[in-house]
Amino acid sequence: MQVWAEHPLFSVETPHEAARRLDLFEDGVIALSLHGDVVSANREALRMLDLQGASVEGRSLMDLPVAIDGWADVVDFARRDRRADVALRGAGGCPIVATLKRVQPDGPVQWIQLRDVEVFEFRRDKVFGRKAEDSVRFLSDERTRPDFAEQRRLSPEMNRVLSRGERAIRMGARTLITGESGVGKSEIARFLAASVADSRDPFVIVNCAASSPDDFDRMLFGGDGTKGLIAQAEGGTLFLDEVGDVPLSSQARLLGLLEDGQRTQGGSANGRPRHIRVISATNRDLRKMMRTGDFRADLYFRLAVIHLHVPPLREMTRLVDHLIDRFARTIDQRRQAPMQVPQRLREILADYAFPGNIRELLNIVQRLAIDLEDAEELDDLIGSLIAPSDIAGPHDGIAPATTATLDLRAEVRQFERGLIDRAIQIHGSKRKAAKALGVDIGTIVRKTATPTNEDQ
């Protein structure tokens, strides 16, 4: 079976050979038939469009399950056989340029080239030796949008949070998202807003902890002829991040917006209603702040029609491996060879307490990408990535049982034994456990030779 009778680059007779040759391209490539159906797409195109595992051959562009910003424009230009460059926001949030090409000058569009802008710029700068500050970005600047579809499949806890949030947003209920720092409250807010909004609708983030009361009022409500963030969020979503830090003097004005949908500016009422969806988030205990008078009760009940609590990462351990791979794929865009995360490190991270949650895991993967190649011993690398005091053990967060001895020395010995046993399990030997815990091997031998209450 001949796929292309006269191909501009090569002649092939089987779809397999076409796919093999297309995979030689470092850019994403989609080849179309004269009728606009997909004949073949290489792996890079499927990765950029988040279509790994999907069957695309023989389908029209409109039928492909692509859910990224700008794809509708690609479909429209291809339908009209227009050559064009289209800006996309691909899987993981990376910027992509889609170029629609013709094989013949007057023929239909038969090629779509997908170019990862950040990868191209990195390679360009490397080739030309460019070192300008505006061309160099640290790994922490990379953005990896969560794959919530996969997170929902892996974590029933996350699925419950997102499902309840989606119902609330569809009904127009204001939603308060709470959870420890680093659990992804901002990304969940963005996801919920996108579930009911057009891609062109504004999503305006207000960092409530970033300014003084006067600056906060000016930032939020505007003044002196400038538009505040509330006005900028018209028709879209206003996300109040760290809402527990809203100055007490500003809470009354914010309450007025929530109660009647009107914006007060310069102390006078502006009667035009504001059509704004409001989502807020905090890692603080707003109910406790209500009791101490630091947060208005009426504002709390306006913001928290629905309260979504995001569990910490240590309670959603099935996400850890997925997140490691997700972060590694983003980092690999700036590496010559893919990063290989050691299986033993994955197992250790699955048991780690993650006081910094997802943000800490991203930090660990970024540091791993830099230090992995130079590390002589895996245990040394693990010790630099994870503090011994943060090893999650069987005694973490567990209050003494009612049958405890209440003898301090006995309880300390039992806790030490549990921590040591856990370190030995993780590091594979008493000597390596001693190094990780910062003690000599004699201490480990002596303390493991002493039976615990459970051994007696």
What would the DSSP string read from start to end of 363-399? HHHHHHHHHGGG-S-HHHHHHHHS-GGG---TTTTPP
CA dist 253 and 221 (Å) reads: 9
CATH superfamily of 15-121: PAS domain (3.30.450.20)
Residue-wise burial string across 5-23, b where 16 or more C-beta atoms lie within 10 A, e elsewhere = eeeeeeebeeeeebbebbe
Q: What is the CATH number of domain 316-390?
A: 1.10.8
pLDDT digits (tens, 9 = 90+) for 111-125: 899 988 877 776 676
- Structure confidence by residue, pLDDT tens digits, 155-200: 999 999 999 999 999 999 999 999 999 999 999 999 999 888 776 7
What DSSP element (H or E) covers 152? helix 148-154
* Architecture field, domain 156-309: 3-Layer(aba) Sandwich (3.40)
Pairwise CA distance, residues 357 & 390, whole Å = 12
Mean pLDDT of the region 443-456: 64
Task: Report the share of the chain in percent with pLDDT over 70.
Answer: 78
pLDDT tens for residues 66-111?
A: 878 788 889 888 888 888 888 887 655 578 899 998 888 888 888 8
pLDDT of residue 244: 94
Straight-line distance from the first to the last Cα atom of the chain, in angstroms, rounded to the nearest whole number: 76
pLDDT tens profile 3-31: 454 444 556 666 667 677 777 887 889 98
Of residues 267 and 241, the one with the higher pLDDT is: 241
Strand, coil or helix: 138: coil
CA gap 139, 364 in Å, rounded: 11
Domain boundaries, the chain: 15-121, 156-309, 316-390
Note the pLDDT tens digit of each residue in 189-205: 999 998 887 767 889 99
Q: 263 pairs with which residues across the strands?
A: 270
Q: Which residues contact 133 (CB under 8 A, 6 or more apart)?
A: none
Q: Is residue 25 within 8 Å of 12, Cβ to Cβ?
A: no
Helix axes 378-385, 343-350, angle to 10 degrees: 30
Q: Which tokens hold the place of 289?
A: 């702040």
Q: What pLDDT, on the 0 to 100 scale, is given for residue 91?
A: 53
CB count in 10 Å sphere of residue 162:
21
Q: What is the DSSP string of 263-275?
A: EEETTEEEEEE--
Residue 22: phi and psi, rounded to 5, are -65, -30
